[in-house]
Amino acid sequence: MYLKEALENGNIAGDGVFDERVCDFLQKKLASPKILTVTSGTHALELAMVLADIQPGDQVIMPSFTFPSTANAVLLRGGTPVFSEVDENTLCLDLDKLPSTITKQTKAVVPVHYGGVSCPIDRLMSLAKEHQLWVIEDAAQALGSTYHGKSLGTWGHMGCFSFHGTKNLVSGEGGALSINDAEPNLMERADIYRQKGTNRMEFLKGEVSHYTWVDEGSSYAPSDLLMAVLLAQLEEMDHINQRRRQLFELYQSLISPLIRTGRLAGMARIPEGIQANYHNFYVMFHDQATRELVRKLLQSQGIGAVIHFIPLHGSPMGKRLGYAVEDLPVTNRVSAGLLRLPLFTGMEEAQVHHVVERLRLALEAKHEG
Ligand SMILES: *Cc1c(COP(=O)(O)O)cnc(C)c1O
C-alpha cells in the first residue's frame, strides 16, 4: 500500500519519494529525457506554453476537436489559438490542411492525440521544422501509446499527459510534462516555474544552501499522496492497457456487422504505425439525429454513452475568437456523428455484449419507426 507508506513518510507535499519514483518510471518507460509531474494535464499545457514563450500576437495551431484546456493554455499567455481541421479517420490534425493555417505569426502547433492515437507525427515534425515551429503534444489521453515504436508525448519538443480520473491511469487530478528538447535552459526554467519561481529544485539536489525567488512562476507540484496512488497504477500499466485492448477488439468485432449493413457509418480504428493505449472506443452515426436518439435511449437504460468533444470553434468562446460554426465542416461532421461507448478497465465481456445488443436494438427501432 503505497498510499499508507506515503502517509507514514510524513512528507505529503510535492517532490517526495513517490514523485521521484513516478518520474524515474515514466522516464524509463517512455524513454523521455525529463519528466516533471504537475497538478493536471491542463497545467502541463500551461507550463509548456510558458516554456515555448508564447506571447501576445503569437498564433498556436491546434484542432478544434479538443478539450478547452488546449486553447486556454494559449489564451492565458495572450496568444491566439488557431483551429485547423481533423482527419476523419484519426480525428487528429489533418496534415494536408495544416499548412494553409500557418502564418508569419505562427509559433507552435499542438497535435491532440484523440483516444490515444496520433496523426503521422513524423510528418508533422518535418513540417514544423521547415516552418520553425514548436511542437507541443497534447498527449493527455495517450500515455502508453507509441507511433513507430516511439512514445507519444516524446516526439514533440514537449508532451503533456493527464492522470485525471477519466484517463487510463489516474491520480484523481494530476499530469506530467515530458521535456524532449535537449535545450538545458528549458529544463531549468521548467523546474523554476513549477516551483513558484524559486530555485527550490537546486536546493533539494543540494546544489545551493537555501532557495530564493529567481523568476516568474506558479505552483504545479502534486502532493506525494497522489504520486503514491499513481505509482501503484503505473506499475500495472501494461496489464491495464492489455485489458482495454481486449475490450476494444471485442467491440470492434461486434460492431463490424452493423457497419457492413450500413446501420453505422464507422467506428474507432487504430491507424497504421500506432500501438495504442485503447483510451476510448466510439461508433460513428450517419447523422446527428440518429446519434441523439440512440444516445438518449442508451442513457435511459443506464448505459453511459457520451459525446466528445464538442468542437471549440462553435462554442461561445470560439465565436468570440471570430469563428463561425460552419468554418470546419469535417470537425462538425465527426463531432455530430460520434458516440463513445463505455470502456473501462474493470469492464466485463458480458457488459460489452450487452451495450452492443442495446445499440443494435436502438438502431433497429429507429429504422422501423
Ligand atoms: C483530459 C484532457 C485534458 C486536460 O487534462 P486535466 O488533467 O483534466 O487537466 C487536456 N486535453 C485533452 C485532449 C484531454 O483529454
Task: Average the pLDDT over 124-149 and give the result.
Answer: 98
Q: Give the pLDDT band of residue 369 (cuts 50, 70, 90).
A: low
Instruction: Check residue 348 and give its pLDDT.
Output: 97
For 165, the grid coordinates are 480520473
Instruction: Check residue 320 and give its pLDDT.
Output: 97
* Cβ within 8 Å of residue 340, ≥6 positions away: 280, 281, 282, 305, 306, 307, 308
Q: Ligand 1 centre and the CA of 106: distance in Å?
A: 23
CA 167 to each of CA 75, 209, 236, 319: distance values in angstroms, whole numbers, following the listed order: 25, 40, 14, 29
Atom of ligand 1 nearest to the CA of 114: 13
Atom of ligand 1 nearest to the CA of 43: 9
Q: Ligand 1 centre and the CA of 40: distance in Å?
A: 8
Burial class (CB in 10 A: 0-12, 13-18, 19+), 19: buried
Atom 14 of ligand 1: nearest residue by CA position: 140
Q: E strands, the chain, where?
A: 34-38, 59-63, 80-84, 106-109, 134-138, 146-147, 150-151, 158-162, 175-179, 266-267, 274-275, 281-284, 338-341
For 213-236, how does the pLDDT look when each residue is reduced to its tens digit (9 = 90+)?
999 999 999 999 999 999 999 999
What angle is formed at CA 170 by the lines to CA 28 and CA 119, rounded to 5 degrees?
Answer: 65
SS3 content of the chain, % helix, strand, coil (to 5): 45, 15, 40
Could you identify the residue written with the cell 452515426?
285
For 81-92, how does the pLDDT look when each residue is reduced to its tens digit (9 = 90+)?
999 999 999 999
Could you identify the residue written with the cell 446519434?
291
Q: Ligand 1 centre and the CA of 314: distance in Å?
A: 19
For 79, the grid coordinates are 496568444
Task: Average the pLDDT over 151-159 and give the result.
Answer: 98
Task: Average the pLDDT over 178-193 and give the result.
Answer: 92
Phi/psi at 73 (5° precision): -60, -35
Which among 37, 39, 42, 74 is the best mutation to test ligand 1's pocket, defined by most ligand atoms within 8 Å of the CB? 42
Give the pocket of ligand 1 (CB within 6 Å): 40-42, 66-67, 69-70, 112, 138, 140-141, 162, 164, 175
Q: Give the pLDDT band of residue 183 (cuts 50, 70, 90).
A: confident
What DSSP character marks residue 62?
Answer: E
What angle is formed at CA 20 by the lines to CA 19 and CA 26, rounded to 5 degrees?
Answer: 90
The pTM is what?
0.97
Q: Ligand 1 centre and the CA of 69: distance in Å?
A: 7
**How far is the C-alpha of 83 from the C-alpha of 328, rounded, in Å?**
8
Task: Average the pLDDT over 314-330 and give the result.
Answer: 97
Instruction: Check residue 1 and give its pLDDT.
Output: 83
Atom 6 of ligand 1: nearest residue by CA position: 41
Q: What is the mean pLDDT of the chain?
A: 96
The fraction of the chain above a pLDDT of 70, given in percent, is 100
Atom of ligand 1 nearest to the CA of 40: 7
Q: Say if residue 179's pLDDT is above 80.
A: yes
Instruction: Check residue 366 and give its pLDDT.
Output: 76
Q: Say if residue 49's pLDDT is above 70.
A: yes
Label the pairing between strands 59-63 and 106-109: parallel
Q: Ligand 1 centre and the CA of 233: distance in Å?
A: 18
Atom of ligand 1 nearest to the CA of 164: 7
Atom of ligand 1 nearest to the CA of 42: 9
Instruction: Check residue 308 and give its pLDDT.
Output: 86
The answer to whether 153 and 142 have CB atoms below 8 angstroms apart is yes
For 261-294, how does the pLDDT look when each residue is reduced to its tens digit (9 = 90+)?
999 999 999 999 999 999 999 999 999 999 999 9
